[in-house]
Amino acid sequence: MIKSMTGYGIASFDSGSTKYTVEIKSLNSKFLELSLRIPKSFSDKEFQLRNDCSKQIERGKVNLSINVEKADTTVNAAGIDKDLLKHYYAQLKAVSEDLNEPTHNLLQIALGLPEVVKYDEEIVSEDEWKIVEKTFKQALAAFQQFRLDEGKILEQDAKTRIGIILKNLELVEIEEPKRVPVIRERLDQFLAEAVGREAIDQNRFEQELIYYIDKLDITEEKIRLKAHCDYFIETLKNDDANGKKLGFISQEIGREVNTLGSKANDANMQKLVVGMKEELEKIKEQLLNVL
């Protein structure tokens, strides 16, 4: 079963005093491009989050965000270092008096100097991290399920299109024997007009006809095309991520279809080959979004 690289998952937990929300979304990419938007208080957990995402998500352009909403929005209590404030103020006052400058704004200036006003750092407890981690895993599970559901749609679409290619191959096999009489008649008419029917050596003509028809034989291409299509369907069923492998198989299918087209030498067969190419191009477009 294949997975889509497009995914979305969200989960939240409300403890009453705090609401935690984790959101994961992704688009297709050749590699894992992970962008994290998390509160500063969880910065020490970034490596763990990246490690978990790389193992579980594998590929895709992924955005992970963690949002923490406090019921009490009061800013963390601030403290003033009085001794440092007095030290700054005294120095500012002395310089102002030496320069004969006004001193009425010195307190405001001193409050803006480094380390005078200090805010309590928000510390995340281990229990709080466990809540966030559990919420993250729930969001990741929803994200993976989304990918699986999308993958089922892509899988069914690919199977349908491979089925059309195989059906066209069956029609090609029906049309193929009709080519020989047409080719024989066409060559015979050409030679008759070019050198005259009496001058045609029938034995040599038959030898050249066999050689020409042998060059147009598509038996091997039909066998390989059927085998590649069967292998494609078989690979769709595997549990591993198979987007790249399916891409390689589709390239092989394309080679055989192109060779069929170059050897067809028949309008009806060419139409069927064009239909195969059209379905194959749609498959390749869908595979760009397969993990």
Q: What percent of the chain has pLDDT over 90?
A: 49
Other Cβ atoms within 10 Å of 155 Cβ, number:
19
Comparing CA positions, the residue from 22, 18, 14 lying closest to residue 142 is: 22
Residue 228 and residue 201 in one domain:
yes
Tally of domains in the chain: 3
For residue 52, tell me if it sits in a domain. yes
Domain shared by 177 and 208, yes or no: yes
pLDDT one-digit tens code per residue, 101-139 = 887 788 888 877 877 776 555 667 788 899 999 999 999
Residue 264 covered by a domain: yes
Q: Is 210 exposed, middle or buried (0-12, 13-18, 19+ CB in 10 A)?
A: exposed
- For 175-228, write each residue's pLDDT tens digit: 888 877 767 666 666 666 666 666 666 676 666 666 666 677 888 999 999 999
According to DSSP, the β-strands at 32-37 and 60-70 are parallel
Q: Which amino acid is at 257?
A: V
Domain extent, residue 111, equals 78-119
The rounded distance, in Å, linking the Cα atoms of 137 and 122 is 24
Whole-prediction pTM value?
0.72
Considering the domain architecture, whether residues 274 and 153 belong to the same structural domain is answered as yes
Query: Does 2 map to a domain?
Result: no
**Tokens standing for 33?**
């491009």
